Structure 1
Amino acid sequence: MKIVITGANRGIGLELVRQYLARGDSVHAGVRTPESAGELAALVEPSGGRLRISACDVALETSVRAFADSVNGPVDLLINNAGMRNRPDDLDQLEDAARTFEVNALGPLRVTRALLPMLRRARGAKIANISSGLGSIHDNTTGGAYGYRMSKAALNMASRSLAQDLRGEGIVTVVLSPGWVQTDMGGTDAPTPVAESVAGLLSLIDRLTPEDSGSFFGFRGERIAW
């Protein structure tokens, strides 16, 4: 498969690249600053030409367009993983919420729009937008995290619209929550190792069917309430 992954320089994105390469897929990785993506760059030579790295700042239309121009041929799977979370994320920090929304909600839409011609050239292409349980309105029982929660809830709605708009073309679009993961963003108190979360995501993505399009899943395959 030909897979495009954004936010691939660390955490979940980096592990997605590792696991897809390990099983023999080709990956085009997008990162905001390639020169600082040392761990990702170290995977290029062992991949035997199956990994390419390009700059992609999902908050900038010009960067996204240039990234799309660097992607050659049909794309079987797009994983919109790039995201951010500022802390503190409370009522006194709403200025940061605008930037979070720009990256987490609008960023995946920019990338998807730019790569649609390549997705349409593949048979049964899939779009997986990495969201969060914190984007579930149903599950918000603790409050706070305004910018992050709002941005992920918006991403969820955008993904549902994409699923409806692209259903007739056979493109499956889903929202995935990786869980609370041991990454820089998740912190050391998180219960789930990144390799475990990503292995679950890969297995779930492999099993997706057109009937799943527009759904919100956890990394273990459970459906999450919007």
Structure 2
Amino acid sequence: MKTVLITGCNRGLGLEFVRQLVGLKNPPSKIIATCRSIDKAQELNALKSQNQNIHILELDVTNFDKYNEISEQAKDIVGDDGLNVLINNAGVTTKFTRLNMVKQEQIIENLIINAVAPIMFTKALLPLLKTAAANNASAPLGSSRAVIMNMSSILGSIEMNKKEGGFYPYRTSKSALNAATKSMSIDLKSDGILTISMHPGWVQTDMGGKQAPLKPEQSIKGMLGVLADLKVEQNGLFLQFDGKKLPW
């Protein structure tokens, strides 16, 4: 992959994606990292100061009016190469909620950030993804052409929700994102673009908490491995960070 764009890179998984991408033996020539506030993204800025292939763009994913501007800025960065990989990582979670406690604003916030934003942001960047796929038409379908990775969660699996219940805002939003992923995988395959939903595992981040069993380094290493080896047969699947297929 020559060019990559990741949303939500000020901390957690997004920041670790950037850290590991620049550390690859053959790192992408252009890594575009978005964050809500460049001034507050100290670790991301530190990485940028040491790596010329990192480009930071300021974006609050709820600001839909800025998507076209971000797309133009990304186009200026990647040039004629287009965009090989889009990682829709930015997200929000609401703590465990029972039906009698859930609030309307929690559901709406989760749906907007976790489902609506990835759909609309992908739409804005679609011309860049199509350019990359067309430029590498002789390559196998995968990250050397164009891939969209939507960061989901096992809590979005309807099949696996058998005992715990709850989590209405988060579960609903991630299930919606999974549905969008499936549609993208159908709509964009003819353009040479693969789309997957990814469960990063239960990770020690601000969202996952300190009690989580996985470190960010382990999760991201696994997901980058999945990206590197992605096959056309995996298009439209819901995958775990280690490549295991999950049920919808």
Give the distance between the partners of 1:57 and 1:145, measured in 2 at CA: 24
Aligned residue number for residue 45 of structure 1: 49
| 1:101-144 superposed Cα distances (whole Å, 9 cap, x missing partner) | 00000111111001000001113200000100000001112101
Aligned residue number for residue 83 of structure 1: 91
How many percent identity over aligned positions? Answer: 40
Aligned residue number for residue 218 of structure 2: 196
Question: Which structure: larger Rg?
Answer: 2
Give the distance between the partners of 1:208 and 1:106, measured in 2 at CA: 25
Q: Where does the alignment leave 5 or more consecutive residues of structure 2 unmatched?
A: 137-144
Pick the aligned partner of 2:108 from 94, 98, 101.
98
CA contact (8 A) 2:96 2:166 kept: no
Shift of 1:86: 2.2
Q: How does 1:87-166 map to 2 (within 5 A)?
A: 87-91=95-99, 92-94=101-103, 95-122=105-132, 123=136, 124-141=145-162, 142-166=164-188
Give the distance between the partners of 2:191 and 2:172, measured in 1 at CA: 29
Shift of 1:88: 4.9
CA contact (8 A) 1:57 1:64 kept: no
Q: How does 1:170-181 map to 2 (within 5 A)?
A: 170-181=192-203
Give the distance between the partners of 2:217 and 2:112, measured in 1 at CA: 28
CA contact (8 A) 1:126 1:172 kept: yes
Shift of 1:93: 3.0
Aligned residue number for residue 142 of structure 2: none
The one-letter code of the counterpart of 1:116 is L
Number of residue-to-residue matches in the alignment: 225
Q: Which runs of 4+ in 1 moved over 6 A?
A: none
Shift of 1:87: 2.6
Aligned residue number for residue 190 of structure 2: 168
Give the distance between the partners of 1:42 and 1:93, measured in 2 at CA: 39
Give the distance between the partners of 1:155 and 1:115, measured in 2 at CA: 17
Give the distance between the partners of 1:12 and 1:154, measured in 2 at CA: 21
Q: TM-score, normalised by structure 1?
A: 0.97
Q: Where does the alignment leave 5 or more consecutive residues of structure 1 unmatched?
A: none
Give the distance between the partners of 1:107 and 1:90, measured in 2 at CA: 25
Residue 121 of structure 1 aligns to a residue whose secondary structure is helix
The one-letter code of the counterpart of 1:121 is T
CA contact (8 A) 1:55 1:63 kept: no
Give the distance between the partners of 1:57 and 1:106, measured in 2 at CA: 13
Residue 87 of structure 2 aligns to a residue whose secondary structure is strand
Aligned residue number for residue 64 of structure 2: 61
| 1:90-109 superposed Cα distances (whole Å, 9 cap, x missing partner) | 43232211011000001111
